[in-house]
Amino acid sequence: MRVDLFDFDLPQELIALRPASPRDAARMLLVRGDEPFADMGVRDLPGLLEPGDVLVFNDTRVIPAQLTGRRGEATIGATLHKRIDLRRWQAFIRNGKRLKPGDRVDFGEGVSAISESRAPDGSWTLAFEGDEPDEVLLERAGTMPLPPYIAGKRATDERDREDYQTIFAREKGAVAAPTAALHFTPGLLAALDERGIARETLTLHVGAGTFLPVKADDTDDHAMHAEWGRIEPDVAARLNAARANGGRIIAVGTTSLRLLESAASEDGVIKPFAGDTSIFITPGYSFRAVDGLMTNFHLPKSTLMMLVSALVGRERMMDAYAHAIANGYRFYSYGDSSLLLP
């Protein structure tokens, strides 16, 4: 499909620079079947689901993966996006033309890395020096990797250390938050429990590639980034049992959805999973594992805009976004939410 079919104009003032406070005070647009769009709030979620439904969350934890360093006189910016092994990361580099294999980049605070090789997509493999765990090094020298549409408008600060983590964050390794779950609070979880809505967690370490623009003119020519994920056997078993009993599987966030669909067989059975996924979902895709999606509002011409269009239909999704813009919904990572029930 043509990528420009997923384009729209967004007023800059609708890009959220801070989350709603409290988190569950955010608005939520309900897109359910062919019904008229409904302007709701995140706190309305329990009443929109049925007992026996299951919400699936991503428990990845964002690490301070944004680094700024020096190679000689050159300033080098690095955003780590995928772990290779205990000491080596794939990284997107700002001012990468100033690097060559074997260069040493000093990130301060006693943290340095060697640039090993450059990949075809322009990213570099960085090997951190010393014996300390890389997590310790990043806590010392790194900052939270806010998306470029936020970082370009304000500096990262201490508030982001908490704001950019979900309450489910446990498994360290993401360089971008699974932002749909940022809206959840203990109070909202208690209301969901009272309603009889189950919840499960999986792990998908979100990479910075999620923010990369689609540069191809046609979706067939876009190479999707890979991310590592895991679904435990007992989680898969409970999800399959819930669906067999008539419950719906509602993914909280596109990261949860992508991993569930990666793990599902042709007949819709969710299998245990551990490994990389580079699944790219566009209109025409037949969903196997999920029955709905809670997600924030995405960038124009992005792979995530294509994913939500695949779930409810492109024209329906474009109309929903036009409604959201006309009604002042806040967009992107710190913005408002939508509940898509096709």
Q: Does any domain span residue 149?
A: no
Q: Is the dihedral of CA 251, 254, 256, 261 positive or negative?
A: positive
Rounded to an integer, the average pLDDT of 258-274 is 97
Does the pLDDT of residue 79 top 70, yes or no?
Answer: yes
Does the pLDDT of residue 209 top 80, yes or no?
Answer: no
Whether 110 and 257 share a structural domain: no
Whether 257 and 311 share a structural domain: yes
CATH number of the structural domain spanning residue 112: 2.40.10.240
Give the lowest-confidence range in 16-20, 121-125, 275-279: 121-125
- pLDDT at site 342: 95
Whether 116 and 251 share a structural domain: no
- pLDDT at site 325: 98
Does the pLDDT of residue 158 top 80, yes or no?
Answer: yes
**Which residues lie closer than 8 Å to 158 by C-beta, 6 or more apart?**
none
Q: Does any domain span residue 155?
A: no
CATH number of the structural domain spanning residue 188: 3.40.1780.10
Give the lowest-confidence range in 156-165, 181-190, 329-338: 156-165
**Cα-flanking dihedrals φ and ψ of residue 119, to 5°?**
-85, 165
Q: What is the pTM of this model?
A: 0.92
Per-residue pLDDT tens over the stretch 240-257: 999 999 999 999 999 999
Give the lowest-confidence range in 186-195, 220-229, 279-288, 322-331: 220-229
Does the pLDDT of residue 294 top 70, yes or no?
Answer: yes
Q: What is the 3-state secondary structure (H, E, C) of the chain?
A: CEHHHHCCCCCHHHECCCCCCCHHHCEEEEEECCCCCEEEEHHHHHHHCCCCCEEEEECEEECCCEEEEEECCEEEEEEEEEECCCCEEEEEEECHHHCCCCCEEEEECCEEEEEEEECCCCCEEEEECCCCCHHHHHHHHCECCCCHHHHCCCCCCHHHHHHCCCCCCCEEEECCCCHHHHHCCHHHHHHHHHHCCEEEEEEECCCHHHHCCCCCCEHHHCCCCCEEEEECHHHHHHHHHHHHCCCCEEEECHHHHHHHHHHECCCCCECCEEEEECCCCCCCCCCCCCCEEEEECCCCCCHHHHHHHHHHCHHHHHHHHHHHHHCCCCECCCCCEEEEEC
- pLDDT at site 211: 65
Q: Does any domain span residue 297?
A: yes
**Hey, which of 76-85, 104-113, 155-164 has the most confident mean pLDDT?**
104-113
- pLDDT at site 56: 98
Q: Tell me if 240 sits within 8 A of 269, measured CB to CB.
A: yes
Whether 15 and 133 share a structural domain: no
Does the pLDDT of residue 214 top 90, yes or no?
Answer: no
Of 89, 112, 142, the one marking the end of a domain is: 142
- Of the chain, the percentage scoring pLDDT greater than 70 comes to 99
d(CA 115, CA 101): 5
Q: Tell me if 86 sits within 8 A of 70, measured CB to CB.
A: no
Does the pLDDT of residue 5 top 90, yes or no?
Answer: yes
Q: Does any domain span residue 156?
A: no
Whether 219 and 334 share a structural domain: yes
Whether 92 and 14 share a structural domain: no
- pLDDT at site 148: 87
- pLDDT at site 55: 98
- Report how many domains make up the chain: 2
Whether 180 and 290 share a structural domain: yes
Q: Does any domain span residue 150?
A: no
Q: Does any domain span residue 103?
A: yes
Per-residue pLDDT tens over the stretch 321-341: 999 999 999 999 999 999 999
Give the lowest-confidence range in 105-114, 138-147, 153-162, 209-218: 209-218
Of 142, 174, 200, the one marking the end of a domain is: 142
Whether 111 and 42 share a structural domain: no
Domain that holds residue 262: 3-62+163-341
- pLDDT at site 276: 94
Q: Does any domain span residue 148?
A: no
Whether 202 and 332 share a structural domain: yes
Whole-angstrom CA distances from 194 to 80, 84, 249, 281 are 40, 42, 18, 34
Mean pLDDT of the chain: 95
Whether 120 and 267 share a structural domain: no
Give the lowest-confidence range in 52-61, 96-105, 237-246: 96-105
Q: Does any domain span residue 157?
A: no
Whether 116 and 236 share a structural domain: no
Whether 264 and 292 share a structural domain: yes
